[in-house]
Amino acid sequence: MMRHGLSRPSFLLALLAGTSLMSVGPAQAAPSVERGEYLARAADCEACHTVPGGVPFAGGRAFPVPGMGVIYAPNITPDPDHGIGKWTDDEFVRSVREGVSPGWKHLYPAMPYPAYARMSVDEVKDIRAWLATVPPSANTPSPNHLKFPFSIRAMMVGWNLLNGPASSYPDDPQKSAEWNRGRYLVEGPGHCADCHSPRTLTYGLSADRAFAGTVVNGLRAYNISPDKSSGIGGWSDEALAQYLSTGHADGHGTASADMAEVISFSLHYLTPADIHAMVVYLHDLKPQSSDDAASPPRKPAAGDDTLPQATKGARLFASTCAGCHLPDGSGRQSPFANIIGSRTLSADGGRNLVRIIMNGSTLTTASGNQIMPGFAGGNLSQRDLNDIAAFVMTHFTEATPSEDKLNAAAKGP
Ligand code: HEC
Ligand code: HEC
Ligand code: HEC
């Protein structure tokens, strides 16, 4: 092998490649639309910048921030007047990586720019190149409703000093290439900590309690550190990969509500190699203990098609839910309706359970949308829905439901 020069054939090839590149201009600097699309999926831009069921990227989705008010996602389609069509690439990069839009508009961290700072400038330009290809929309989202002093965007200058963007950082040579790729995906575009890490007093992400779980948008984003009892230390690599890539893992239930969106808009587009890299990194995090562990499951006899009828919750479950989930929870027709072993059946006093029964959940899968209908505002009262939740908790797990906790969960964010 020649180390110091090119062998003759490769020299010729290089020359040829050089000429063909010259003929189309500086190809290396041109952003890649294809890479931009993949990164935009990995970064889940669409889920936040789209009202559920609305025009993609046209904005308007509301983000309630407890104690502060409501922030609305802007229109980021290429429309020149209502979207970001007039922005330069550099303005776009600054907005996405540093949280500063043109006109010194400091963004709130409801937009996860501190995580996106871990993407390179070129990668963010690729995202821009792809976003420029989506249909423009003239939608004008509602302005933010924030209480004073949070309404002053300049406050974010101070916030950024305390909690602000990290930047792309070198790979850790002590760790494998997979681990480094996983860290990049989880901490960067995936911004998993934005939901799964508790926040500090100044609303920064807690590094000490990273991935220990917290409540966001009225739902518990569970502890996903490798702690055996309160995290996901007991999940096999295969189960975690299956959950992240499809939204369901047998014995762990189905990703619902906000996590179903993360899977639907983002993770299910990732390559198996990238999913595996995330699994490697997640399983190597510092274990954290927390109080959102699942209660031990009760084993309903498989195929048992009888349900206790003693309580109102039991009767309502039989008439409202068992048609899809079956009395033993194993799910009729769709494996996605198999809820056995799901943490959502018991954790955090039934918080997510109540919210999911109220609002339903949609998960996009390779075989189409899996839809759990929402029951709030229908024929059943909130009291009925809480009774169903209490029944689910005691029928499928050993949890002890509390009326106060179910009521608090029902109130939402
Ligand atoms: C977790 C939800 C969320 C995700 C994910 C998200 N955004 Fe945002 N984004 C927001 C919100 C909310 C705002 C408005 C913040 C504010 O008003 O300060 C925003 C603001 C922006 C802005 C500034 C627009 C303007 O008019 O000033 C741009 C550009 C942007 N996002 C692009 C992106 C891109 C590109 C991605 C994916 C790489 C992305 N966002 C992912 C929620 C999100
Ligand atoms: C928008 C908030 C949000 C983001 C972002 C988010 N998650 Fe989640 N995650 C949740 C919620 C809420 C749940 C609980 C879902 C349920 O009840 O079915 C959850 C559940 C999970 C679970 C299942 C835990 C268990 O014990 O059942 C895993 C694993 C997980 N998330 C991993 C991730 C990873 C990895 C990322 C980043 C790529 C991520 N999440 C990003 C909100 C989020
Ligand atoms: C039309 C069929 C259908 C009906 C009726 C239905 N579900 Fe579901 N349910 C699903 C499907 C499909 C999923 C998986 C989709 C998702 O979670 O996004 C699901 C998900 C769930 C989950 C989340 C599972 C997890 O692992 O996080 C719970 C809890 C649940 N259902 C409980 C109920 C209860 C209680 C009722 C009755 C009030 C009910 N469902 C009625 C189809 C149904």
DSSP string covering 251-287, please? TTEE--HHHHHHHHHTGGGS-HHHHHHHHHHHTTSPP
- Residue 335: give its domain's CATH number: 1.10.760.10
Structure tokens at 323: 């048609």
Q: What whole-number distance in Å separates Cα of residue 168 and Cα of residue 120?
A: 6
Which pLDDT belongs to residue 307? 73
Residue 203 lies in a domain: yes
Q: What whole-number distance in Å separates Cα of residue 188 and Cα of residue 283?
A: 17
Q: Are residues 272 and 373 in the same domain?
A: no
User: What is the DSSP pairing of strand 105-106 with strand 62-65?
Assistant: unpaired
Q: Are residues 205 and 153 in the same domain?
A: no
Q: What whole-number distance in Å separates Cα of residue 113 and Cα of residue 136?
A: 23
Instruction: Work out whether the CA dihedral 263, 266, 267, 269 comes out positive or negative.
Output: positive
Q: Are the C-beta atoms of residues 235 and 252 closer than 8 Å to each other?
A: yes
Q: Are residues 115 and 186 in the same domain?
A: no
Residue 14 lies in a domain: no
CA angle 239, 343, 219 (to 5 degrees): 115
Last residue of one domain, picked from the residues 267, 282, 297: 282
Q: Are residues 127 and 189 in the same domain?
A: no
pTM equals 0.93
Q: Are residues 182 and 277 in the same domain?
A: yes
Which pLDDT belongs to residue 353? 98
Q: Are residues 128 and 61 in the same domain?
A: yes
What is the domain extent for residue 384? Answer: 312-411
Ligand 3 mean position, distance from CA 35 (Å): 35
Q: Are residues 124 and 214 in the same domain?
A: no
Last residue of one domain, picked from the residues 234, 266, 282: 282
Residue 98 lies in a domain: yes
Which pLDDT belongs to residue 1? 33
Residue 53 lies in a domain: yes
- Which amino acid, residue 196? H
Q: Which helix (H) or strand (E) is 215 found in, with range?
A: strand 214-216
Q: Are residues 230 and 345 in the same domain?
A: no
Q: Are the C-beta atoms of residues 42 and 266 closer than 8 Å to each other?
A: yes
Q: What whole-number distance in Å separates Cα of residue 349 and Cα of residue 355?
A: 12
Q: Are residues 37 and 158 in the same domain?
A: yes
Q: Are the C-beta atoms of residues 214 and 222 closer than 8 Å to each other?
A: no
Residue 25 lies in a domain: no
Q: Are the C-beta atoms of residues 351 and 409 closer than 8 Å to each other?
A: yes
Q: What whole-number distance in Å separates Cα of residue 34 and Cα of residue 269?
A: 13
Ligand 3 mean position, distance from CA 97 (Å): 37
Residue 169 lies in a domain: no
Q: Are residues 321 and 382 in the same domain?
A: yes
Q: Are residues 156 and 42 in the same domain?
A: yes
Binding site membership of 249 for ligand 2 (Cβ less than 6 Å): no
Which pLDDT belongs to residue 2? 34
- The CA-based diameter of the chain, rounded to the nearest angstrom, is 85
- Residue 104: give its domain's CATH number: 1.10.760
Hey, which of 39, 46, 48 would you mutate to test ligand 1's pocket, going by the most ligand atoms within 8 Å of its Cβ? 48
Instruction: Work out how many domains the chain is built from and give that number.
Output: 3
Ligand 3 mean position, distance from CA 372 (Å): 5
Q: Are residues 337 and 389 in the same domain?
A: yes
Residue 139 lies in a domain: no
Ligand nearest to the CA of 110: 1
Residue ranges of the chain with pLDDT lower than 50? 1-27
Residue 18 lies in a domain: no
Which pLDDT belongs to residue 272? 98
